[in-house]
């Protein structure tokens, strides 16, 4: 019998001298499981090891390789220290341990909690273990979130890495100190911009002098930074300069919570509205003085209007370079508006760049729309086929799912408050700690309740639309009879447009439209 040993670190790694080393926890698991396999007379096919990964992370590299090899039937047994080392999610317990593994002829064994799929009598205990592990994940996530929220509210830095220009204070956890080497670059960027240099020009100047960008600077300082590394990863880009010029941390304010996790089961984050950020003033020494900061912000505000009146550009964030994928920037020249790749000026070797007038892109979109209309749309027939009610139904289902999710959150927050109260009654929590934690949960519950009210209004509006009728003819006429574009039309119809360079001595140019329909 061939066995695959799977090991995973269960807590923050604090005992590794080098990143490539195994932690003590992993070493102990390997030794224990190898001895157990030898005692059972099993041959070890391979040891799969994930160090520094949580049990809720489905993207663990060794875990994914184990599943591929299991499906290929390269071994007969999966051996772990505990079931939770394999996964803490009940869904994966059912999918693999009770579902696919038996189909593939693979036995699952964990020695500490006596889980063994060869013993049908302990299936319920394995399911209970999976449920307990699932609860553990959720409770741990809630506890960590409440602790992190408390630290954010009090202005402590909780990120894995300090912002470029700062370093973590070794003597005071959560406090930032100025890193003079990087801070000198930050001051230069602000000064250059205040003198009238553009963001792309500043990036080019830094690249010409060989100054590493923030990502490369972390790597050079030996920090265990994990990020994408490409051919041009050491270059300063337009967006790095733009982000730096608007970051309040450089004037001594701690700004955190710009992104929030989608779920405790995934590392995916999404942007949060500014009113949900955590901003605490005066938490650390500023790099940029207030006068220079205010000057730069006024200049940024003045430059943030690509068209007269401050309206958003027609193809803002919709037009992409066909060579590097960067969002094209708009600018005005002799009364005409143009789109240009900002990456070309800082990475000319990898991106030949592109340049096109907004009017040309608009005409290409209009021509394609009219061609599609003439070729495919019979309006009388289309009126019969447009599934207006079905569309409303899909919208309603999405809103209903969101509503139920927020209702569940309100129940969870209420449950959390009751649990906190019981901990206070039992003496586990002091009155100040209880008040602080309870306030956080109450605020979260209030926000969820507001979302429920908003979603309920939107559902009522959809129901009213279904009663009043669909107005299909007006909808069709609106999007097939116009002769010019505006921003709402572009937002509705276009996902993005890929634009390439113009062919020399011709008027031909790649304009590839990706529709939303």
pLDDT, tens digit (0-9, with 9 covering 90-100), for 327-364:
888 877 887 888 888 776 665 566 787 888 999 999 99
Residue 226 pLDDT > 80:
no
Q: Which domain holds residue 134?
A: 2-140
Residue 110: phi and psi, rounded to 5, are -125, 130
Assess whether 9 and 128 both reside in one domain.
yes
On whether residue 328 sits in a domain, the answer given is yes
Distance (Å, rounded) from C-alpha 424 to C-alpha 412?
A: 18
Residue 269 DSSP symbol: E
What HEC string does 418-435 produce? HHHHHHHHCCCCCHHHHH
Higher pLDDT, 413 or 385: 413
Choose the final residue of a domain: 280, 304, 328.
304
Over residues 253-296, the pLDDT tens digits come to 888 877 766 554 555 566 778 787 888 888 899 999 988 899 88
Q: Is 468 exposed, middle or buried (0-12, 13-18, 19+ CB in 10 A)?
A: exposed
- Residue 135 resides in a domain: yes
Please give the DSSP secondary-structure letter assigned to residue 75. Answer: -
Q: Are residues 240 and 362 in the same domain?
A: no
Q: Identify whether residues 345 and 273 lie together within a single domain.
A: no
Phi then psi for 271, rounded to 5 degrees?
A: -65, 145
pLDDT score, position 73: 92
* Residue 146 placed within a domain: no
* Residues 127 and 96 both lie in one domain: yes
* CB proximity list for 417: less than 8 A, separation 6 or greater: 438, 441, 442, 445
Any domain includes 474: no
Note whether 391 and 374 are same-domain residues: no
Give yes or no for residue 235 having a pLDDT over 80.
Answer: yes
377 and 363 Cβ atoms separated by less than 8 Å: no
The rounded distance, in Å, linking the Cα atoms of 95 and 103 is: 11
**Angstrom distances, CA of residue 224 to CA of 18, 107, 347:** 10, 37, 26
Is the domain of 88 the same as that of 206?
no
* Higher-pLDDT residue of 343, 210: 210
pLDDT in tens, 312-327: 578 877 888 888 777 8
Lowest-pLDDT range, 67-71, 421-425, 474-478?
474-478
- Mean pLDDT score of the chain: 78
Q: Please, how many CA atoms are within 13 Å of residue 23, restricted to the half-sphere of its CB?
A: 17
* Torsion-angle region of 381 (φ positive above 0: left; ψ -120 to 50: alpha; else: beta): alpha
User: What are the C-alpha distances in Å from 163 to residues 114, 172, 214, 252, 259?
Assistant: 46, 16, 9, 12, 15
What is the domain count for the chain? 4
Q: Which residue has the higher pLDDT, 25 or 321?
A: 321
pLDDT digits (tens, 9 = 90+) for 152-164: 777 888 877 889 9
Q: Could you read off the pLDDT of 484-511 as tens digits, one per residue?
A: 787 777 877 888 899 988 888 787 889 9
273 and 228, same structural domain? yes
Question: Are 45 and 129 members of one domain?
Answer: yes
The pLDDT value given to residue 4:
93
Q: Do 78 and 184 reside in the same domain of the chain?
A: no
- The half-sphere exposure of 8 on its side-chain side, counting CA atoms within 13 A, is 25
pLDDT tens by residue, 56-94: 677 889 999 999 999 999 999 999 988 888 887 777 888
Q: What pLDDT does residue 76 have?
A: 94
Domain shared by 269 and 215, yes or no: yes
Select from 275, 304, 333 the last residue of a domain: 304
Residues 337 and 446 in one domain: no
Check which CATH number belongs to the domain holding 16 and give it: 3.40.50.1390
Shared domain for 499 and 356, answered yes or no, is: yes
**pLDDT over threshold 80, residue 456:** yes
Q: Are 81 and 33 in contact (CB under 8 A)?
A: yes
Q: Is 416 helix (H, G, I), strand (E, B) or coil?
A: helix
Q: Is residue 147 part of a domain?
A: no
In this prediction, residue 2 carries a pLDDT of: 93
Last residue of a domain, one of 263, 284, 304: 304
Give the range with max mean pLDDT: 186-190, 213-217, 388-392.
Answer: 186-190
Q: Does 475 reside within a domain? A: no
Predicted confidence (pLDDT) per residue in 90-114, tens digit = 778 888 888 899 899 999 998 887 8
Residue 324 within any structural domain of the chain: yes
451 has a pLDDT exceeding 70: yes
- The structure's pTM equals 0.40
pLDDT of residue 502: 85
According to DSSP, residue 448 is labeled H
- Whether residue 101 lies inside any domain: the answer is yes
CATH number, domain of 238, equals 3.90.1750.20
Q: Is the pLDDT of residue 187 over 60?
A: yes
Q: What is the pLDDT of residue 79?
A: 93
Distances (CA, A) of 352 to 330, 343, 360, 366: 18, 9, 20, 27
* Torsion on CA atoms 102, 106, 107, 112, rounded to nearest 10: -120
- pLDDT confidence bin for 382, thresholds 50/70/90: low
């Amino acid at each position: 019998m061939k066995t695959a040993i799977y090991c995973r670190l269960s807590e923050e790694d604090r005992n590794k001298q080098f990143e490539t080393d195994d932690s003590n926890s992993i070493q102990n698991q390997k030794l224990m499981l190898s001895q157990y396999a030898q005692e059972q007379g099993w041959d070890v096919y391979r040891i799969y090891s994930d160090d520094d990964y949580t049990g809720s992370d489905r993207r663990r590299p060794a875990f994914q390789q184990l599943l591929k090899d299991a499906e290929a039937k390269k071994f007969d047994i999966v051996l772990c220290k505990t079931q939770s080392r394999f996964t803490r999610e009940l869904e994966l317990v059912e999918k693999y341990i009770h579902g696919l593994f038996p189909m593939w002829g693979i036995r699952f064994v964990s020695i500490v909690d006596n889980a063994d799929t060869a013993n049908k009598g302990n299936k319920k205990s394995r399911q209970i273990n999976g449920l307990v592990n699932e609860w553990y994940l959720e409770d741990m996530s809630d506890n960590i979130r409440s602790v992190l929220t408390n630290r954010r509210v009090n202005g402590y830095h909780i990120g894995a890495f300090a912002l470029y220009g700062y370093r973590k204070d070794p003597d005071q956890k959560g406090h930032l100190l100025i890193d003079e080497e990087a801070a000198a670059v930050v001051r230069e960027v602000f000064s250059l911009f205040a003198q009238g240099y553009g963001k792309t020009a500043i990036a080019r100047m830094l690249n010409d002098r060989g100054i590493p960008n923030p990502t490369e600077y972390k790597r050079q300082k030996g920090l265990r930074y994990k990020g994408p590394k490409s051919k041009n990863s050491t270059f300063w880009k337009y967006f790095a300069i733009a982000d730096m010029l608007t970051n309040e941390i450089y004037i001594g304010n701690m700004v955190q919570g710009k992104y929030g996790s989608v779920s405790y089961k995934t590392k995916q984050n999404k942007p949060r509205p500014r009113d949900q950020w955590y901003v605490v003033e005066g938490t650390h020494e500023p790099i940029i003085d207030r006068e220079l900061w205010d000057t730069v912000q006024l200049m940024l505000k003045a430059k943030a209007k690509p068209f007269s009146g401050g309206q958003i550009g027609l193809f803002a964030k919709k037009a992409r370079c066909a060579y590097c994928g960067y969002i094209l920037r708009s600018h005005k020249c002799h009364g005409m508006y143009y789109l240009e790749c900002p990456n070309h000026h800082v990475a000319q070797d990898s991106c030949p760049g592109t340049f096109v007038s907004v009017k040309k892109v608009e005409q290409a979109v209009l021509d394609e729309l009219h061609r599609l209309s003439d070729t495919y749309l019979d309006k009388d027939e289309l009126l019969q086929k447009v599934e207006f009610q079905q569309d409303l139904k899909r919208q309603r289902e999405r809103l209903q799912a969101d509503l139920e999710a927020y209702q569940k959150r309100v129940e969870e927050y209420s449950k959390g408050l009751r649990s906190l109260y019981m901990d206070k009654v039992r003496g586990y929590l002091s009155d100040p700690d209880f008040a602080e934690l309870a306030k956080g949960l109450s605020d979260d519950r209030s926000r969820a309740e507001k979302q429920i009210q908003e979603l309920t209004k939107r559902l009522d509006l959809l129901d009213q639309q279904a009663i009043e009728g669909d107005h299909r003819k007006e909808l069709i006429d609106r999007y097939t009879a116009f002769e010019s574009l505006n921003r709402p039309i572009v937002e509705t119809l276009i996902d993005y447009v890929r634009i390439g360079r113009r062919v020399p001595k011709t008027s031909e140019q790649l304009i590839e439209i990706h529709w939303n329909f």
